[in-house]
Copies of this chain bind each other. A is one copy, B any other.
Amino acid sequence: MAARTLTPKGEQTRQRIILGASAEILESGVEEVRLEDIMARTATSKGQLFHYFPGGREELVLAVTRHETAQALREQTEALLGFESWADWQRWRDAMVVWYQGRGLRCPLLGLLSADAGRRMPEAQAVMVEFMANWQAVLAEGLRRLRAAGCLAADVDVPRAAAALLAGIQGGILLMITTGRIDHLTAALDQSATARRTSTS
């Protein structure tokens, strides 16, 4: 917020804190993470934390939220806007599964919007809302391309299908985190497209 001047070194430290906090949150969840944990992981002092994030814990979490959403949106955009064939969809679907498996069935974002976190941090929630809208738009564009390529029935309501797909993904991830199983996610991903498929590849 405040237009403060940061030296290169300062900028570096700031980034290190965001990355460390991000990792810490992924592992333990927002509520669970203590400033001390972040200090330990990033080898910083309390003075530094409040120097770079005068708003304290809340501002830091907000920065992490921004960082993670931007990252995720970038990756999804890159993957989905290239859709031109059924194989592309399959690749993306598989990549999603692998991505989460590689992270031990955790999600860097879902921990950020636990039901109550939003109430306490409206700014972070706003970021999440915007992120979801953007992701949905990207999903819609991907589906539109698939439809254009003839992989989906011509009468598919793309925006609505994208909404359902996003819900399926989120629920799949939630259930993955809760149950430790990934089959809800795969089932949701598969249903979203195969049900509307015009023909088998």
Give the CA-CA distance A185 to B195 in the complex, in Å.
18
Stretch at the interface among A4-12, A86-94, A125-133: A125-133
Taking CB atoms, residues of chain B closer than 8 Å to A191 are: 160-161, 164, 191-192, 195
Taking CB atoms, residues of chain B closer than 8 Å to A192 are: 164, 191
Which 9 A-B pairs rank lowest in CB-CB distance, beginning with the nearest? A29-B116, A171-B171, A114-B114, A170-B171, A167-B171, A195-B195, A111-B115, A163-B187, A167-B188
Chain A residues numbered 132-178 whose CB sits less than 8 Å from any CB in chain B: 132-133, 160-161, 163-164, 166-175, 177-178
Contacts A114-B114, A132-B178, A177-B118: A167 and B187 contacting too (C-beta < 8 A)? yes
Copies in the complex: 2
Determine whether the beta carbon of A179 is less than 8 Å from that of B132: yes
Give the CA-CA distance A103 to B125 in the complex, in Å.
20
Give the CA-CA distance A110 to B163 in the complex, in Å.
20
Interface residues of chain A: helix, strand, loop or mixed (majority): helix
Chain A residues in the interface with B (C-beta under 8 A): 28-32, 106-107, 110-111, 113-120, 125, 128-129, 132-133, 160-161, 163-164, 166-175, 177-179, 183-185, 187-188, 190-192, 195-196
